[in-house]
Homo-oligomer: A and B are copies of this chain.
Amino acid sequence: MTLQVYGDLGSGNCLKVKYIADATGTPYVWHDVPVRSGGTATPEFRALNPFGQMPVVVLDDGRPLAQSNAILRYLAQGSRFIPTDRYDAAKVDEWLFWEQYSHEPTVAVARSRVIYDGQDTAKLDPVLVGRANAALDRLEQALTGQVFLVGNAMSIADIALLVYTRSAPDAGLDLAARPAITRWIAACEQELGLTATAAVIKGQS
């Protein structure tokens, strides 16, 4: 199988797909769809994903799949990135849904307002910043005394939370005061063979 991936490497949601494909040795072709210049509004893209959201992957038989965390689950199936224990697998799901409901809409949105909309970090909506910090605090609490989020091994829960947590300083969110998160990021980077923390999310692979 060679996967066709449609995404923008400046988007954390798209990076999730790159990380799991690389980590599982899934062959893929990356089709760059620039998120900020209408790439998701074209009829061609809407035919792949009527939701109009990135990333989207297309299987060999032409069938598309959207939603970054659904793609993570699909590509990780049968790999070490989904626990075999039923309860641990459910805890991974718990983190995946929390990420999309409470973390991405706060941490990633704050970053997006700075990186893409040019807002000053000091002038971000304080409600948004408060929620982003609450999400990071919850993550710090969960990672205290644990190397990874679930069990003793890296899973797709870590990949899902890694992408935007890693770029939180772009939004002026402080990771230096969160030692468990800082250590966890380093552990994830080592596991995935990533380097240059700051650079990756901005577009290089």
Interface residues of A (CB under 8 A from B): 50-51, 59, 63, 65-71, 73-74, 77, 86-87, 90-91, 93-94, 96-98, 100-102, 104-105, 138, 141-142
Contacts and interface: CB of A to CB of B under 8 A. Distances in A.
A138 B90 CA distance: 28
A74 B96 CA distance: 14
Nearest to A75: B90
Contact of A97 (B69, B87, B142): B69
Given A63-B87, A138-B51, A93 B74 contact: yes
Contacts of A67: 93-94, 97-98, 101
A65 B51 contact: no
Nearest to A100: B101
Q: Which 7 A-B pairs have the closest CB atoms?
A: A70-B93, A67-B97, A70-B94, A74-B90, A67-B94, A100-B101, A69-B97
A44 B141 CA distance: 17
22 contacts: A50-B138, A50-B141, A51-B98, A51-B138, A59-B87, A63-B87, A65-B87, A65-B90, A65-B94, A66-B94, A67-B94, A67-B97, A69-B93, A70-B91, A70-B93, A73-B90, A74-B93, A96-B97, A97-B100, A100-B101, A101-B101, A105-B105
A50 B94 CA distance: 12
A102 B138 contact: no
Contact of A70 (B51, B71, B97, B138): B97
